[in-house]
Amino acid sequence: MDNSNDLLNSANKLFLKKRFNDAISIYEQILKSEPNNIDAINNMGYALSKSKKYQHAIDCYDVGLRNNPNEKTLLINKISSLRKMEILDSALDNCNKLLNETPNELIVMYHKLRILFAIKKYKHSLQICDKILQIYPKNADVLFDKASNLAHLNRNADCLKSLSLAIEISKKFKIKAKKSKSFQGFSKDQNFLKLIE
């Protein structure tokens, strides 16, 4: 057992150094002797995802979920990989499954608002933004997402207010707003231009 813990620590250190392929090799080695090692399964899936091997990551999470169907971390990481592959229906189903069990699971709510935004369900996405902001009013990422939803719903004054709050927290949202398709309709809006200058 100590040996697998040592191997896991070695793999995790490689992962942190972004040496994902080396880390994956060690996780595979652990899983040969301990096929149900949840930490190795989860971390290997995460390393695969970081290597943009999303389908392999999903396959890895599915192996873990077959033996541990209620393992929340595996399911959340699977949702993330599904989102990156734009398999949004499945990602949304998994979000709903988790949120039925724990309605205020923030990371799942965050994935869900992003999925709803991607499938153009802006009102529903906005509702989740507001729910998260009730808990964490200074979450700049969610404030930016809220502004994006409001832009698509043509609620311009509310949109700019939310965007302004996000930018107050972090200036990186000026750049993000300049690049975002959500704000293309604001190219001549003086208030928007002042916010991002």
Q: Does domain 1-85 have CATH number 1.10.3720.10?
A: no
> What pLDDT does 98 receive?
95
pLDDT tens string 106-140: 999 999 999 999 999 999 999 999 999 999 999 99
End-to-end CA distance of the chain: 57
> What pLDDT does 1 receive?
44
Q: HSE of 95 in the Cβ direction (CA atoms, 13 Å)?
A: 24
pLDDT tens string 16-39: 999 999 999 999 999 999 999 999
DSSP output for 109-164: HHHHHHHHHHTT-HHHHHHHHHHHHHH-TT-HHHHHHHHHHHHHTT-HHHHHHHHH
Say which residues have a Cβ less than 8 Å from residue 9's Cβ, sequence separation at least 6: none
When pLDDT is averaged across residues 32-58 and rounded to a whole number, the result is 95
Q: Is the pLDDT of residue 4 over 90?
A: no
pLDDT tens string 64-77: 999 999 899 999 99
Spans of all domains in the chain: 1-85, 94-197
pTM for the predicted model, two decimal places = 0.88
Q: Is the pLDDT of residue 2 over 90?
A: no
> What pLDDT does 38 receive?
94
Q: Quick check: do 1-85 and 94-197 share a fold? A: yes
Right CATH number for 94-197 from 1.25.40.10, 3.30.70.270, 1.10.760.10, 3.40.50.300? Answer: 1.25.40.10
